[in-house]
Each structure stands twice: as structure tokens, then as C-alpha cells.
Amino acid sequence: KGGIHYINKEQPDILTLQETKCSEKKLPPEVKVPGYHTYWLGSEKEGYAGVALYTKEKPVDIKYGIGDKSFDKEGRLITAEYEKFYLVATYVVNAGQGLKTLDRKIEWNKLFEEYLKNLDTKKPVILTGDMNVAHKEIDLKNPKTNQKSAGFTPEEREGMTSLLGQGFVDTYRHFNPDKEGAYTFWTYMNNARAKNTGWRLDYFIVSERFLPAVCDNVIREKVLGSDHCPITLFLHL
């Protein structure tokens, strides 16, 4: 809601969208924004997952998926190659109600980590998207009562720890290591957003050697229209 107005006002060089829930052939014409090359990857399942990329500069190359058919049919990842880096836009598997898809998420995390490590041998990587995990206790309002909730299980958190251990950096925590109350998602229930009862599920993660090009990572918590808010990465290239 209000997304096109936000794009026109913010004028990002690159914009990614997650959980688009729409195939490209069913997109309304107003989502085509002048001045942007657009790339969409939908799920074979209607109304589920999906990612998109808007970019002012045409990428050197575009790749859809992670190379695994069972995940790629869900529309989870677009990789755009630019001259100096890879941009990976993703919507990570949710562990699900009752953790019914936790095993599948663990499988995804292993494949995903290997995919990113391989890219990183060629060029630095910028990873962005809904990672569906709050990494540390500081990254959600109520850590004590969510130990067995999707997005904060030990297995999911370990998946993020493992990824960051491969030479990648969570840019928000790089700039704000101790900042509390910084969230990107609030459930629609129980007036959570007004109370700031949230989770930080959305990330910009970069190759460690790319950090000198990163100026800041800003959470746009005042931007409404979704249960998530936008996040912005500022680069000096």
C-alpha cells in the first residue's frame, strides 16, 4: 500500500520487494515505474512468496533461483550481477506455525549459505530481504517468550550465525551494535506496531571486504502500508 508513492519519493537506485504473492503476468500496470528495469519471480503456488527487483542501472546479468527445483518453484531469490558486486534479493523460508517447516528452512539455510559463498569467490555480495529470523535477543521485543516461535528458534539463529561466520556482515548491527527497539516487522495483532512490539527480520548483509563502501543502514520504521517497513542501505561506490 502506497509503495509506488514511496518509490517516487525515495528514488532508490535499487529496490527489492519480498513476498510479492503475484505472478508477473497478473501484475497491474501501475507497478511499472518509469526509469526502472524490473524483474519478478513468482511462486508456482498462487498468492505465495515471490520476490522482485527494481533497478535504475541494468544489471550485467540476472539469475532466478538458488539452483534447487523444490525451492526455486516457490519464487525465493533473484541475483543481479553488477560491475562491482552481486545483489541478492531473497524471501527466506518461514519455519511456519508450529514449526512445521523448520526442517525445510534448515535445508534452505545450508544451500543458501553455499550459494552465497560461491558468489563471494567472484565478487562481493550484498544480500537483502526478509530473512525470517531475529538473530539475537536484541532483535525482538520479547525474546524470553519466543524461544520456540518461528523466527527465533535456536536452529534458525544458528543458521544466521553460521552465515555471518563465512565472511559476511550484518550491516545494521555493524553501525548500531547495541541499539534496542530497532525492528522491521510488527504483527497486525494486539496493536503491536503502536507498542513497538516487533522483530528485526529484514537485513542488508554484505561481504566483509565490501564494508568500506557501506555508509549506513537505516530502518524506515515510520513508513506504513505493510506489517514490514522498508530498510535502506547507503553506499559510496
The residues annotated as belonging to the active site are: 91, 130, 228
d(CA 186, CA 166): 30
Residue 132 labelled as part of a binding site: yes
Is residue 196 within 8 A of residue 114, CB to CB? The reply is: no
Residues found in the chain: 237
Residue 208 labelled as part of a binding site: no
Give the DSSP letter string of 46-78: TTS--EEEEESSPPSEEEES-S-HHHHTT--EE
- What sign results for the dihedral spanned by CA atoms 153, 155, 156, 160? positive
SS3 content of the chain, % helix, strand, coil (to 5): 30, 25, 45
Residue 142 labelled as part of a binding site: no
Residue 170 labelled as part of a binding site: no
Nearest Cα to 202, choosing from 170, 178, 225?
170
Residue 227 labelled as part of a binding site: yes
> How many Cα atoms within 13 Å fall on the side-chain side of residue 39?
25
Binding residue ranges = 19, 130, 132, 227-228
Binding residues for Mg(2+): 19, 130, 132, 227-228
